[in-house]
Amino acid sequence: MAVSPGVVPPARASQWHAGHRLTLLTGASQWFPLLLQAMAQAQRRIWLETYIFDFAGSALEVAQALAEAARRGVQVRVMVDGVGTPVIPPPWLATWRAAGVRVAVYAPLGRLGLSLPSQWRRLHRKLCVVDDTGYCGGINVVDDWLDPTLGALPRPRLDFAVQVQGPLVEDMRHAMQQLWLAHTVPSVARRDHLERMRDALNQGLSRAPWPAAQATSRARLVLRDNLLHRRDIERAYRGAIGRARHEIWLAVAYFVPDIRLRRALRWAVQRGVKVRVLIQGEYENFMQYHAGWFTTAWCVRQGIEVYRYQPSAFHAKAAVVDGRWATIGSSNLDPLSLLLAREANVLIDDPSFAGALLQRLQHVTTHQAQPLAPLLAQRGPWQRARDVVAYVAMRTALFLTGNRY
């Protein structure tokens, strides 16, 4: 089923909820085993949204588990993006449909492809709900050792997700349900019909909190859409940066922050806050690669420490502020995520979880990353000129689509 990107009602704003069990997951190698176990035990629903579903390697186990769950009578929904997953292999599509898996493709590309600015608005969020457990992060349904573009990787891809058990799962379920109903109910334009369907499907959902002694984390789901929540994720980042008093760690694969974010980071440094940014070592896209050099060079001049992850592909979208506030999700800090794509991040207020993520980022930065400052000194005039051209071209393209960055 094809899905248009422009007819979805605005998502409701999520609030902070207490009483969660949160588990940090590093890469598909940690996520897939938990996901497969949950799918094998699922009794009611498995809902999955992903930008990329790559039918190769360990991702095939997920595809098979979805079919097996649907055959048992579990409600299984899969929504993929039309750019990230342009084609579902016909044998798998037939297998899913025969098993009862419902599939939707968000904004499939037409003949003109991405030449139409309206097609730049993609479904980039990675959400999954299996009964009363939710998952959110940057991890696509892709084998850690494989890249759909680059092929085999020298080492596993570095990425993060969070497993959620507690009240926040209801918000995740609501967000996924709203998007799904908006694109699969024929009378989607009638809001009253959408509300009736939502209420009917919500009946009987468990809202029981986890025991306080085992689940003390506060968490909030923040979505980005092209209606009422265009800058919610960016505001969450800027709010945390503005409150920082000691240290900020950002781990973002695509780091081309806008003027507001750069200003917030500069003010944090001026307050004496230690700011460190971990980015990927190589970019696949010319504009993102060179525009990234332009903005990271600015960061280094402000006193921000920037490091490049070297061993393999780096796809993380995470942050820790003052060892307490943390976020993990699908949103990069670049214009595609902050202005155009549908994204989902979980905000976390929990020193234990933030400490675990911080420890992981510190280890990666110390042992697997390279400081950017010496590399900037080696870039010649021609390379710096291309950086400026790419950054200006990116801002110009966004201006032509009605977005300022």
Q: Which of 17, 171, 315, 387 is catalytic?
A: 315
- The CATH number of residue 71's host domain is 3.30.870.10
Do both 124 and 221 map to the same domain? no
Q: Which of 20, 124, 174, 229 is catalytic?
A: 124
Rounded CA gap, 60 and 366, in Å? 34
pLDDT at 192: 52
User: Which residues of the chain register pLDDT less than 50?
Assistant: 6, 187-190, 193, 197, 200-201, 203-214
Residue 298 lies in a domain: yes
DSSP secondary structure of 50-81: ES-B--STTHHHHHHHHHHHHHTT-EEEEEEE
Task: For Cα atoms 39, 176, 66, give the angle at the middle one, nearest 5 degrees.
Answer: 25
How many Cα atoms within 13 Å fall on the side-chain side of residue 264? Answer: 18
Residue 102 lies in a domain: yes
Do both 243 and 177 map to the same domain? no
Beta bridge partners of 277: 250, 306
pLDDT at 281: 82
Residue ending a domain, among 156, 171, 202, is 202
Catalytic status, residue 131: yes
Rounded CA gap, 36 and 40, in Å? 6
H or E segment and range at residue 192:
helix 191-202
pLDDT single digits (tens) 113-160: 776 667 778 999 999 999 999 999 999 999 999 988 888 999 999 999
Which pair of tokens denotes residue 392? 């200006």
pLDDT at 208: 40
Do both 194 and 234 map to the same domain? no
Q: What is the DSSP letter of 7?
A: -
Do both 90 and 232 map to the same domain? no
Nearest one of 366, 377, 351 to 293, comparing CA atoms: 377
Do both 195 and 282 map to the same domain? no
Catalytic status, residue 322: yes
Do both 124 and 236 map to the same domain? no
Q: Which of 17, 20, 81, 126 is catalytic?
A: 126
Task: Domain count for the chain, please give it.
Answer: 2
Do both 58 and 130 map to the same domain? yes
Give residue for tokens 């599509």: 93
Do both 68 and 181 map to the same domain? yes
Q: Are 364 and 158 in contact (CB under 8 A)?
A: yes
Query: Strand, helix or coil at 153?
Result: coil
> Crossing angle for the helix pair 90-99 and 59-71, nearest 10 degrees?
30
pLDDT single digits (tens) 320-336: 999 999 999 999 999 88
Q: What CA–CA distances, in Å, run from 159 to 57, 129, 309, 381?
A: 17, 19, 12, 34
Q: Which of 54, 131, 334, 387 is catalytic?
A: 131
Cα 162 from chain centroid?
11
Q: Which of 17, 229, 290, 317 is catalytic?
A: 317
Residue 343 lies in a domain: yes
Q: Which of 322, 334, 350, 387 is catalytic?
A: 322
pLDDT at 209: 41
Catalytic status, residue 126: yes
Residue 9 lies in a domain: no
Do both 314 and 173 map to the same domain? no
Residue 212 lies in a domain: no
Q: What CA–CA distances, in Å, run from 129 to 164, 170, 171?
A: 9, 9, 10
pLDDT at 214: 44
Do both 131 and 278 map to the same domain? no
Do both 28 and 174 map to the same domain? yes
- What is the model's pTM? 0.90
What residues make up the domain containing 249?
217-400
H or E segment and range at residue 163:
strand 160-165
Do both 31 and 131 map to the same domain? yes
